[in-house]
Chain A
């Protein structure tokens, strides 16, 4: 009875948080799922996105959501640079090499942030985050709602872009068979660079959406980086929509699971669901079984 009363709020909370999880997962899905690069720096990219948003809001007075239009391109270019200078060298190397390199990259980014901003935590305050919408017993923070819809819009937009555009076709071709794509005249180098840039821009966008409702400090990405991998595999490797749904599933599992066990075990619930999926549907919830 009492448990049922908590259900609507937890459902809404989980769903709204899931929107942001989805965006984080989608960014990694492009790099890890599609391009097959184990990117352990994804959490750090998210952090870079958050600090960029913080600077834009605090020093230029930009709205955090409009800030995506600035921070997105900045991170896109930064991502392409990182791909060209660093990632490209290990694009075909073993996963171990990729892990070592991206962990190193993540350390550099985190420690640079610590140098520039110190370990102090910061937050931005917006009128959105102060506005609360109540429907019955359920309360929603306006900032969460906006972030949710923007996350959904970006995910859908990206999906359509990948499915309909010339670049999308090239990207999918590259992920399926890099040599065949090359033979068909796809500029594989450019595709990989752009995909990595897009992945970083998406992490940045997720960071921008997270900043108004969370706080930031240099190691903030650690939590989300690990979860992003869970989302990608949960949803099905290689599927952008799968990663988004994986994100929502994970957030809902964490949120609803708390009705029965404590908040302290919420991460355990998420990983429990993850293990179940791997056991019974190893290709992921929304992935196609591959040959």
Chain B
């Protein structure tokens, strides 16, 4: 009889292991998985349909353009990332209406052919195949997660269809040697270099602590940040991973505080970012700068009461886009977006909005819907900082846009762009006031 509990415990562990595997997929509290969905990219089979890559070019000269110009869109309308697919669609919608109201492209209205990848890599592949062979679009824009985007980009490459990436951040998407893939946003590795460049430009710290979530997301930013900081002459005095979702970070912060760093870099999602800042206040930990690498430190909830609230004040973060950035149309877009949907736009919507303006520019320069001509025009893109609300567009030989990343600071409860100075809306407040100096 009393042997029962021990056996039960063994069973229990087994069940929990199983439950853990299945459970983790649905466990995405809040908008925690916002930026840098680096995740398991590449794991999805790259072996797309190896067969006929006979690109069926809808070779249409300017004279015989169709009545509407159809553009292929892949995004996550359903599934675990549906929230971000919605953000994508809102950006597309506003841009589409603006472009068509202004006369369309090449004198024709644009039409979006939207395929749902249901947040799954295999669906992204079939969506790309469908758009390439049945709808016969001149180009495709997609998708949200890196896990879905990489195989879709590989499929598009097989069919020789130009493929624009608006959001997916895994570095390898532009690294597989495709001539057809063009990415608008910065890859995840840029977060680290932006943080270090900002620090060297504005703070010149001697010492730094890096505190990161011990997952792929955390280490893929923390490791390059450590290397770049040390190369720049900043001594990394604490490099601490943490298990996410812990109720008590005080032992961790105590340890970091004892190392007395000038700067603390947090690589955290929203839940932990909130507790890390709250408990840093409780422990009266006063480095000169708190800076986050996007994610939790650049989500709208972080500065509000349901996040860190006033504990978020003065924190810096590297980010891709802000509503107050000095790129033409960003502010107006934010106002229109808020009027329509009642919320502030996240950068995902700005990316897709800019993607359609890129398409307009590209098709007009190509002068046709021929895929090779479109690809050529994409490669030659050179749009200035005011051409889109997401800033300048110019792709390198790998198809990566040189998107200037921004640094924000929370000032009076709002994210304010403070660096680089040419896009800044305000000057950074440095050094961070100590907790006791704050109101």
Contacts and interface: CB of A to CB of B under 8 A. Distances in A.
A217 B29 contact: yes
B11 A121 contact: no
Given A2-B258, A258-B252, 4 more contacts: A10-B250, A13-B251, A217-B30, A220-B29
A70 B1 CA distance: 38
Q: How large is the interface on B (under 10, 10 to 19, 20 to 34, 35 or more residues)?
A: 35 or more
B242 A95 contact: no
Contact of A263 (B249, B275, B282): B249
B64 interface: no
A93 to B, nearest CB: 12
Listed from nearest, the 5 A-B pairs whose CB atoms lie closest are: A217-B29, A264-B241, A121-B30, A95-B8, A264-B214
Interface string B203-228: 00000000000100000000000000
B242 A99 contact: no
Interface string B278-298: 100111100000000000000
B68 interface: no
Interface in A262-291: 262-267, 282, 290
Interface in A49-63: none
Nearest to B278: A129
B282 A121 contact: no
12 contacts: A6-B258, A14-B251, A95-B11, A119-B29, A120-B30, A129-B278, A210-B247, A214-B247, A219-B26, A219-B27, A229-B9, A258-B251
B23 interface: yes
B245 A134 contact: no
B427 interface: no
Interface of B: 2, 4-9, 11-12, 15-16, 19, 23, 26-32, 214, 240-243, 245-252, 254-255, 258, 270-271, 274-275, 278, 281-284, 305-306, 309
Contact of B5 (A120, A218, A237): A237
A202 B122 CA distance: 45
A33 B282 CA distance: 37
A17 B5 contact: no
Interface in A107-156: 114, 119-123, 125, 129, 132, 134, 139-141
Interface residues of A, number: 57
Interface in A23-49: 32-33, 36, 38, 40
A91 to B, nearest CB: 13
A213 B279 CA distance: 10
Contacts of A123: 274, 306
B254 to A, nearest CB: 5
B254 A215 contact: no
A100 to B, nearest CB: 8
B243 to A, nearest CB: 5
Contacts, number: 130
A266 B243 contact: yes
Nearest to B249: A263
A291 B239 CA distance: 50
Contact of A132 (B27, B274, B281, B306): B281
Contacts of B271: 121, 215, 217
A5 B248 CA distance: 18
- Best-surrounded residue of A5, A40, A210, A263 (most CB of chain B within 10 A): A263
A264 B12 contact: no
A223 interface: yes
B243 A264 contact: yes
A96 interface: yes
B162 to A, nearest CB: 35
Contacts of A233: 5, 9
B258 A266 contact: no
Contacts of B251: 6, 9-10, 13-14, 255, 258-259, 263, 266
B250 A9 contact: yes
Nearest to B248: A17
A103 interface: yes
Given A139-B283, A290-B2, A219 B23 contact: yes
B438 to A, nearest CB: 12
A133 to B, nearest CB: 9
A120 B29 contact: yes
Nearest to A232: B5
Contacts of B32: 121
Contacts of A210: 247
B12 A125 contact: no
A95 B242 CA distance: 34
Interface string A235-272: 00100000000000000000100110011111100000
Given A95-B7, A132-B282, A139-B284, A266 B246 contact: yes
A290 B184 CA distance: 67
A106 to B, nearest CB: 9
B111 to A, nearest CB: 33
Contacts of A2: 258
- Best-surrounded residue of A122, A220, A264 (most CB of chain B within 10 A): A264
A262 B241 contact: yes
Nearest to A133: B282
A96 B283 CA distance: 46
Contacts of A96: 11
A40 B12 contact: yes
A258 B255 contact: yes
B28 A263 contact: no
B274 A215 contact: yes
A103 B255 contact: no
A5 B258 CA distance: 8
Given A119-B29, A258-B252, A264 B242 contact: yes
Contacts of A114: 26
Nearest to A13: B250
A226 interface: yes
A140 B279 CA distance: 10
A20 B247 CA distance: 11
B243 A38 contact: no
A26 B3 CA distance: 21
Contacts of A229: 9, 12
A149 to B, nearest CB: 17
A155 B9 CA distance: 24
B11 A262 contact: no
B242 A263 contact: yes
